[in-house]
Structure 1
């Protein structure tokens, strides 16, 4: 569990001295580290999720600047602000508290008599211990999903040491941040690793608010989680998790492009590799989903069946036998019959939608459909023919997802039919 402002507020060493003044809705903000702010100019160097401390020496008794400081800190997405009252700032003005409430930025008051060096030491010690836990659990999840070792009893014991129960049903959630490096490059005074930290804290907070203690790890630009499952509400829970993560990322890091794949749930830790494979496929399908940036594996349709076919050559053969002759015709005659057929079937044989997607005239579509039937020597009115063609196109996409070679329009292979 991340060290949040709410947890900090209730730490035994602090709870009798520190007082929350405003911004209570932000108490779930995770604290990445502490920073004592001596001047407003230093705000530009913050990278997010710091718990900032303000002695007030910069104000020289003019606290009108405090509202501006609060606004700047909120824009940097700090975890919260602790104001040291008693020497330079006798009392936090109501307008500062009001602004903190508006921005949902936790605003705390700490008496001057309490030494900041002690306070920051207590908080940073808790953060370091939490980071050690996260590092250990990331390594554990990597072993579970990517290692050939099957020391599941040891894994259960290691997780239990940190309060994780891996004996319950779980599912894998795989989130790909497509432009993470570009996003990091665009942010001033931050880098790729810091962006990963911010995302971990953001998503961790979202799940912790739902009382879901989850293992997580980074794999390049993929953030992978093992999330507990409530069997009584499994489907609703999966959808809710995806929506919550989507909204959380869009509200805090709106220029990030991301997709979410959710695997099926399994009751044994040794089966999580299956959920990981399913989440990877669901993630690829999410990229083709124009309505929303996430996909549940259980909604993957025929791709669930294709995913369980161990011999991929069987699929490739069916694809070539079904569409090969049309692919070769396109390659030899510079036509677009395969694309036309695919769009026509995807649009449920709706002529209007098809011509709009292809930007062609209705007569052109009718001509192409007649020629397609002639090339295939099959009638598109035949239900079995249409089913076979639809499956062939699904196979093409699936094989591309798997990174396997597949014959496409304008790319004939020597082994295809002529």
Structure 2
């Protein structure tokens, strides 16, 4: 990439005189053209430096303003006008106008043939491009050697920073420093100091694949940073930051940076796939543990020994937390997005949770984008910790993690119970109008078995079990139902029932005998009493609908 200002500083072009302000000469020059045509702007690509004798404008230099306007609109790099042949001097008004619109205007002396100047300029540009390409190929070879030797990402970043002789930082999708060059070991501020400034000042900087930023250095002076996306996944890229890119020695070109980003993409992708294979084994282990512990009469297995490689520890506190990323209307149908979102959340939890809770192990739940967190230590402020972790990630990326908690258990053989409870608690949130950030499992007892039954089926069960006592209207049946309910609550003991209802025990006995005759069954029989108690409860609840 050649800048017009740099081009004019080269000794062989020292006789070219920049008439406009030097700051306006920071345009990129990609090629050179000679033309005397007034509408030349319609036939040239962008970033062209135009050479002309202005022959057409010798009698009216004011028309040059129209030419300058058209070149500016076409994003030309500037115009060089030869004096001494058709134009003795360039009109100061033309120069003032070019200055006003910040368009570079260069005076070419009469001693400089335009044809020769064109060839010299083009040769320089072509040599520059060749030099850039050679440099990029050299960089590529050095990168290839690093890949063949299977160096770590930290080593790669350190070597890359040394190659371009300027600080380099690699960030995760949620802006955590993964690696940085050795420049930061020589300063009083770590790499995180610059990243924090960047995130605070440019909270939407992740939207561009290549962007430039200005922050403050250690002396509170302006510091430029160039940012490049490193694509590993579709939606959540990593980022490569280069500090002081303007100080990178020539001919450091964008080709070299693109090569670095490409190599980093490959290295990160390779590491990701290796990690995924390990997580698959871990996920498979969790599936086996849950299935085995839920099987009746299972053979005893030493889960602590089997799960030692997956983070299982000996403890008296085991609790499973089910973690799921909330979906929005726009992401609900994007399967690839949901998968990548879950992977980012997994990495975030892997790094954040151990800093706050001891002895945690995180599993990907097989065939889902859900996560299971196994906590193996006592935690007094678990809700607060989970809330903080979710909020911190949401501040960095559009990802919100919700949690569902199972109950605490004392042995590893009961982990499945906590997992099932946590998953059940999560499924409960799906029926809620607004899902809470954290939801705990609450036992429901036998009545929960009937929750998915229709009212018609519940009415049928109650009426066949309780008959006239299911939904009584007459006062006599209402009293019988109350007596039966109280009698069953006191485990079929007449004395306790009589005392509770302030009635004589003979009255209770008479009513219970009447209920038995009405229902046609022995109330004291365990199976009958269970059905009666359940029918009494269900009929009372269903009657409220």
Greater relative contact order (Cα 8 A, min sep 6): structure 1 or 2?
1
TM-score (norm 2): 0.37
Task: Indicate the structure (1 or 2) with the bigger Cα radius of gyration.
Answer: 2
